[in-house]
Amino acid sequence: METWQEAAQVADHAGNQSKVPVISFAAPTITPPLMQRRWPHLIRMATDASAQMKCIADLVSAYHWKRVVVIYEDDGYGGAVGTLAVLSEALRDVGSKIEHRLILPRVSSLSNPNWVELEELLKLPLIQSRVFIVLQSSLPTVTHLFRVAKKMELVGRDSAWIITESIVSLLDSLDSSDMSTMAGTLGTTTYYAKNTNSYAKFQNEFQTKFSEEDNSKPGIYALRAFDTMTIITQALRRMTSNSSTSNLQELFNTLFNNYTGLSGKMYFKEGGVLLYSPKFRIINIVDGKTDKELISWTPEVGFSPSLVNQGTNSSNGVGIIWPGNVTSAPKGWAMPTDEKKMRILVPGITSFYKFVKVDWSRQDSDEKKFDGFCIALFKMIVSNLSYSLPYEIEARNGSYDSLINLVQDKTYDAVVGDITVLSERLEKVDFTQPYLESGLSMIVPENYEESTWLFLKPFTWQMWVVTGGILIYTTLIVWFLERPSNPEFGGPFKDQIRTATWFTFSSLFFAHREKIYSNLTRVVVIEWLFVVLILSSSYTANLSSMLTIKGMNPNVTGIEMLKRTNAKIGSDADSFILNYLEVVLGFKNSNIIEVGPQYNVDDFKSKRISAAFLELPYAEVFINQNCKGYTSTARNYRFGGFSFAFQQGSPIARDFTKAILELLENGELKKLQTHWLTTPEGECSNNATSNTPESLSLKNFSGLFIITSVTSTLCLLLSLVILMRKCQQQEADQGNASPSPSDESLWNRTVRIAGFINQSLSIPKGAPSFANVEEWSSPLRWDYTSTSNTPEHPQAFMEPAQIEFIPQESIELRQ
């Protein structure tokens, strides 16, 4: 019994009515519920159809075939429906699908012996797939199928044929002339060990008995038949030797479980005899024989090693010979030829001619009729393909969705242009890798503004406050350190503070002229000058940037402002952006104005629109063409990008994707984009659409302020320590004049130390005041004067000794 329908009928009559065990080599692909209860005497010893369909799906996936044509013979019972459903699910799991189902008529129903009806069925004018999977067929039907297919050039270059085990098992009885039409076909068959002694013995007996046939090697059916007869023999022997065991069905169930035969190790489950590990072997029909084995497959591992690498390596003896006697893997698609070129469709009207431009005054055959970035990219990709791709380009006016529909219904093979990848379009065609990013961008006019307080913008207000605080703190430190020894800081307290403030503030511009007497003051001043240098350089750099990049703000600050003010906005009438603005962003339809291609700036100048919404590549072209007076916002809404569209399942789309990625990686696509979409260098060098530099904040200089504050504080503390030590030394010289520290209260001691510090900070009354013009006009910025406040050097409270660094020019004048 070759089919499940035959096995089910026999099981109904012989099994259920006569209680006779029925062993079948056929089984349903999808096991119906309560099957064992319905046919309790049926034993199914068949191939795991579900695993076989997964094997075929993995084979399709290994060569990136996206569309297949399934062929099966009509048995009158719809027996292939279950197998077709399982195959369809397996293909869907690997990203492929069945494009067409071809149902062959039964041999008895053909009225014409020349198989004219079969030839009519194989005419596939709109079917591009050239991957054919034959699920089930009788031997006469499959033989004539390949004869007609080869006559119609369906068995040749770029095509692939796959047959299942039920057909492979029948081919051994065919002669070489019939097998020659199947050359290059791949088949699946159950794996069984050929290196055992039992198989070698059975093979010799089989070939001896059927020596007259061209292919006399036993197939899987012969092995299963031998295993079945062995089990039956064992069961009958047990029945004759043991009279207590009379149920033949139970004996079969017991013997089939854990039995290892020529077809493999089996186990019995719910009326079915199954292999412990279903394993399939891929065979290649070459020279009229089916014994060229390529590789094995298991559900757990798949193909091991890779079928693609193994199958294309002819040096290891397992290289696949495909239809047409070629070794390179077929595309599985009706590839273009010089007689039937690939029909390419381009949009006749585009938003910007830089992408696609059609010269309608020229003929379609004239290469100069079609120009633009997309056309140049298409030609570059074609030149980089590893095979020849004859094509012809046509242009049509209409929306981009209408062009996509023409590819979906197979009127054209592909659309080349600035096509945006959308989810709705992806259901109709296959897209290549996007060659340009896409997103929604808003174009608005710019407004020049003049700022009265621009000079304060280089720093934030926190920065200005902290800088002023550091300036005051440094002033107090300098005053405290210089007052005891520097006569320029003498006079009334008001003049002292004025002098210290003038000294510190003038250092901001490096214009200070006062002499410095204390070494601690020099440390503070050096640190302060370093801070001044950094702050002045940063302020100058940031202010220069702000003046170079003029402060320009757009008239429109955002989408919400446009909706709130009911402003008019522009959009391409043929673009999906029109629907996006209304449905997603919530603009009123009455406020959306359709603008023509190229987006003329007159629409802005005439106040017809306040903003225009373009896709990112269009916005970049617009800004490059209108450098001054317009700006674009950041891309906040992303789309799928610009791409080329092909028919679903076309392998050419994958080849284009690979070529686009290569052009992106080697920089050629960027060069092409610069050539076509960018304004020549120099025309937009002063484009003022860049962001204005941000104000420098306190965080940028926090480390610098910490260093100068710590340094000044340390110098102050060190000065106080020195004064404290002088106070202790003076008390020691005076003997018992002062009370002992243990008898003196903390308050009295603090007052006494403060009085000493105040006395130490005093300066002779004759010291020059802040108004001493002669001292301010001193030509020396830095003078070094050696002073000491110890009793051994009483000159500390006199006019400071003039041990100075004198400039070389002053020495020459004195000479």
Look at residue 366 and tell me whether its pLDDT is greater than 80. Answer: no
pLDDT at 512 over 50: yes
Alpha-carbon gap, residue 154 to 145, rounded angstroms: 11
In sequence order, which ranges of 549-605 are alpha helices (DSSP H)? 559-564, 577-583, 602-605
**Least confident range of 67-76, 311-320, 729-738:** 311-320
**Mean pLDDT of the region 705-712:** 76
| pLDDT reported for residue 134 | 95
DSSP 438: -
DSSP E strands in 397-524: the ranges are 414-420, 430-431, 439-448
Q: Give 263's pLDDT tier (boundaries 50, 70, 90).
A: confident
Sequence-distant (≥ 6) Cβ neighbours of residue 296 within 8 angstroms? 191, 279, 280, 281, 282, 303, 304
pLDDT digits (tens, 9 = 90+) for 537-573: 888 887 777 766 554 555 566 788 888 888 888 887 6
The structure's pTM equals 0.67
**Structure-block tokens of residue 592:** 């959306």
For position 634, what pLDDT does the model report?
A: 60
State mean pLDDT over 244-271: 76
Is residue 616 within 8 Å of 638, Cβ to Cβ? no
Highest mean pLDDT of the ranges 267-276, 541-550, 588-597: 588-597
The token duo for 73 is 């013979």
What is the β-pairing status of strands 642-646 and 430-431?
Answer: antiparallel
Measured distance CA(97)–CA(93) in Å, rounded: 9
> Of 416, 674, 688, whose CA–CA distance to 547 is shortest?
688
DSSP reduced 3-state for 162:
strand
How many CB atoms are located within 10 Å of the residue 474 CB? 25
Q: What digits encode the pLDDT tens for the residues 451-505?
A: 666 777 788 888 888 888 887 888 787 777 777 777 766 667 777 777 777 777 6
State the average pLDDT over residues 413-423.
94
Mean pLDDT of 304-320: 57
Q: Contact at 8 Å (CB) between 6 and 25?
A: no
Residue 574 tokens read as 């043929």
Whether residue 408 is predicted with pLDDT greater than 90 in this model: the reply is: yes
Average pLDDT over residues 718-736: 69
**What distances in angstroms separate CA 732 from CA 292, 788, 791, 792, one per listed residue?**
115, 20, 14, 16
Say what the pLDDT of residue 739 is: 52
The residue among 530, 512, 524, 533 whose CA lies nearest residue 783 is 512
* Structure tokens belonging to residue 786: 């050696």
632-687 pLDDT, tens per residue?
Answer: 776 668 889 999 999 999 999 999 999 999 999 999 999 999 999 886 654 554 44
Residue 437 buriedness (CB in 10 A; 0-12 / 13-18 / 19+): middle
Q: What average pLDDT does the structure give for the chain?
A: 78
The per-residue pLDDT for range 93-111, each reduced to its tens digit, is 999 999 999 988 876 555 5
358 close to 348: Cβ distance less than 8 angstroms: yes
Confidence of residue 375 (pLDDT cuts 50, 70, 90): very high
Q: What share of the chain is helix, strand, coil (3-state, %, to 5)?
A: 45, 15, 40
- Residues 504-519 have a mean pLDDT of 68
On the question of pLDDT at 717 being above 50, the answer is yes
Q: Report the DSSP beta bridge partners of residue 637.
A: 440
Confidence of residue 744 (pLDDT cuts 50, 70, 90): low
Residues 748-799 have pLDDT tens digits of 666 666 666 665 555 444 444 433 333 333 333 444 344 444 444 444 333 4
Contact call for residues 134 and 98 (beta carbons, < 8 A): no
Q: How much is the pLDDT for 316?
A: 41
Range with lowest mean pLDDT among 404-408, 581-585, 623-627: 623-627
Determine the Cα angle at 791 with ends 790 and 796, to 5°: 60
Query: Is the pLDDT confidence value at 78 over 50?
Result: yes
Measured CA distances, 5 to 76, 77, 567, 717 (Å): 10, 7, 73, 106
